[in-house]
Amino acid sequence: MSTVSEKIGAGLVKELREKTGAPMGDCLKALQEARGDMEEAVVVLRKRGMASAAKKASRTANEGSIGTYIHAGGKIGVMIEVNCESDFVARTEDFQDLLKDIAMHIAATDPRYIRKEDVTPEDMEREKEIYRAQAAATGKPAPVVEKIVEGKMSKFYEEVCLLEQPFIKEQSVTIGDLVKQRIAKLGENIAVRRFARFKVGDANWTVAQVKQVAEEEQQA
């Protein structure tokens, strides 16, 4: 009687690697754990990747690269800085591809902030008050109103915060997840530091940076 390991051929391992970018050894282990189920193996790898990324998130990332993306027709342009821990990783194809993908995503979605933590208190309170008034007008009790506000704020963050947005190339993955996947693959902390988005004829061009950077620059 053949074992699960014997049923998992090199072709299946290669297919999982192409889907996730994870090392071959990790792909084999994930397929073994998932008993050969490709979709379950993808879930296993993502869970491991998120755990690995969380451990690296506190490490300093002072290297990195600046990338640009000009949308077809030259009407929209994006410049972005993404940081990592070493110049070696910054020059890899995986890191440069991430840089391009995020810049292209920003051109398409025009986020206003990078993280939820970067949303200004003024913007946050304004949105909450609008949602609270809308919910209260339906006559629902206060606890229900607050639940509705909470749900609408989650949607608000998804609309305006880069890391919360579904990646335009793969809607099941957020930009935050995309970054974590590369952290797991490349073995270094990776962080989006700032970006600027320009549109021809639009005076309200977008500039965003993580709150910590903005505070450091104000103190300098």
Residue type, 100: K
Q: Where are the domains of the chain?
A: 4-56, 63-117+161-219, 120-157
Model confidence at 2, in pLDDT bands (50, 70, 90)?
very low
Cα angle at 107 between 103 and 109, to 5 degrees? 110
Q: How far is CA 44 from CA 19, 29, 176, in A?
A: 13, 9, 18
What gap in Å lies between CA 164 and CA 78, rounded to an integer?
A: 19
Examine the pLDDT at 197 and tell me if it is beyond 80.
Answer: yes
Q: pLDDT band at residue 4, thresholds of 50, 70 and 90?
A: very low
Nearest residue to 30 (alpha-carbon basis) of 3, 52, 5? 5
What integer pLDDT is reported at residue 39 of this predicted model?
A: 84
Share above pLDDT 70 across residues of the chain, in percent, rounded to a whole number: 85
Mean pLDDT of 36-59: 69
Task: Mention every residue, 6+ apart, whose C-beta is less than 8 A from residue 33.
Answer: 41, 44
Asked if the 120-157 domain carries CATH number 3.40.720, the reply is: no
Q: How confident is the model at residue 64 (pLDDT cuts 50, 70, 90)?
A: very high
| More confident: 100 or 18 | 100
Predicted confidence (pLDDT) per residue in 128-141, tens digit: 999 889 888 888 88
CATH architecture of 63-117+161-219: 2-Layer Sandwich (3.30)
pTM of the model as a whole: 0.70
Give CATH for domain 4-56.
1.10.8.10
What pLDDT does residue 1 have?
34
Q: Is the pLDDT of residue 50 over 60?
A: no
